[in-house]
Amino acid sequence: MKTNKVILIIDDEFIILESIKIQLGRFLNEESHIVEFASSGEEAFDIINEYHSNNVAIDLIITDYHLDDVKGTDIIYFMHERFPLSKKYILTGETGNNITIDELKNIEIHGYISKPWEFEDFKNYVLTSIKD
C-alpha cells in the first residue's frame, strides 16, 4: 500500500520553483512525501506519464497558468485523465480570475494560488490537499 503522497509542482520560472522547494521543505516530511518539479509542460507530461505507467497516483498538482510551451489548464486536463481524484491548483500572477470557465469545464479545480502567495495560505493548501 502506498504511503508516500506525491506532489507535482510546475512553473517555468526558476525562482518560483526554488521558492516552493524551500517552503515545502519547511513543513513536509521527506519520508512521507515525494515532490516532483517540472519547469515546462513537456517535462510535466513526462512525469505524469511515468507515474501513470507505474500505477502510482499523483495526489496534488500545482501548475502555473502561463508556461512557455502550454497553458496550465492543458496540464490539468492531462492530469485529470490519468488521476481524476488528484487535487488540482493553478498558480497565477494575473490579477483577478482571468481563467475562463470554458477552459476548465468538467474538471474540478480546488483553488487558485496568486503570485506572490502568503506562506501560511500556501502551506494550508498543500496540507489540506494531501491529508488522508
Domain that holds residue 37: 5-130
- 1 pLDDT above the threshold of 50: no
pLDDT digit string, tens, across residues 34-63: 999 999 999 999 999 999 999 999 999 999
pTM of the model: 0.89
Residue 122 Ramachandran class (φ > 0 left, ψ -120 to 50 alpha, else beta): alpha
pLDDT digit string, tens, across residues 59-87: 999 999 889 999 988 999 999 999 999 99
- 95 pLDDT above the threshold of 70: no
Q: Mean pLDDT, the chain, as a whole number?
A: 87
Give the percent of the chain with pLDDT over 90.
57
Number of domains within the chain: 1
Confidence at residue 21, expressed as pLDDT on a 0 to 100 scale: 92
Domain at 26, CATH number: 3.40.50.2300
C-alpha to C-alpha distance for 114 and 79, rounded to whole angstroms: 21
